[in-house]
Amino acid sequence: MTRPIPHGGDPAPEGYEYRVAVDTKWRLVTRSKPCRNQAGYHAPACGKPAVAELGRPRQPGPTNRQRGITATVQWWAYCPEHMYSRWVEDGKVLSWRLVEVGAP
């Protein structure tokens, strides 16, 4: 998987630069899953083999909130084509971050 061009090739604003960062909302797929991009009501999923999953928060309904149940995470699997500006490198899901020049 190759690194995408930061922000579609647009230069960073003056005083800023793009840096590679680990995307903590993503994880690698641990078992074979299909990409579920566009999956939903009357929409077919992509179906290609997924390489990473995005943790999407799922809020509990009113009854569960009354019982003290908090938000859970649902993991949605995606193929490289549908990871949009993210890629897998050295066993991690990475993305570009815009940071101030000279920032740690």
The total number of structural domains that make up the chain? 1
pLDDT digits (tens, 9 = 90+) for 38-66: 766 777 788 899 999 999 887 767 766 67
Rounded CA-CA distance 37/78 in Å is 6
Question: Is 80 exceeded by the pLDDT of residue 67?
Answer: no
* Phi and psi angles of residue 57, each rounded to the nearest 5 degrees, phi first: -65, 140
Q: Is 67 part of a structural domain of the chain?
A: yes
Rounded CA-CA distance 70/58 in Å is 9
With beta carbons less than 8 A apart as the criterion, state whether 37 and 82 touch: yes
Q: What is the pLDDT of residue 20?
A: 94
Give the domain extent around 45: 24-99
Q: Is 15 part of a structural domain of the chain?
A: no
User: Could you tell me the two tokens for 87?
Assistant: 């890629």
Q: Is 1 part of a structural domain of the chain?
A: no
Q: Is 40 part of a structural domain of the chain?
A: yes
User: Could you tell me the two tokens for 49?
Assistant: 């083999």
Mean pLDDT estimate for the chain: 86
Q: Is 47 part of a structural domain of the chain?
A: yes
With beta carbons less than 8 A apart as the criterion, state whether 94 and 24 touch: no
Q: Is 72 part of a structural domain of the chain?
A: yes
Q: Is 77 part of a structural domain of the chain?
A: yes
Which residues partner with 88 through β-bridges?
Answer: 93
Q: Is 17 part of a structural domain of the chain?
A: no
Rounded CA-CA distance 17/100 in Å is 6
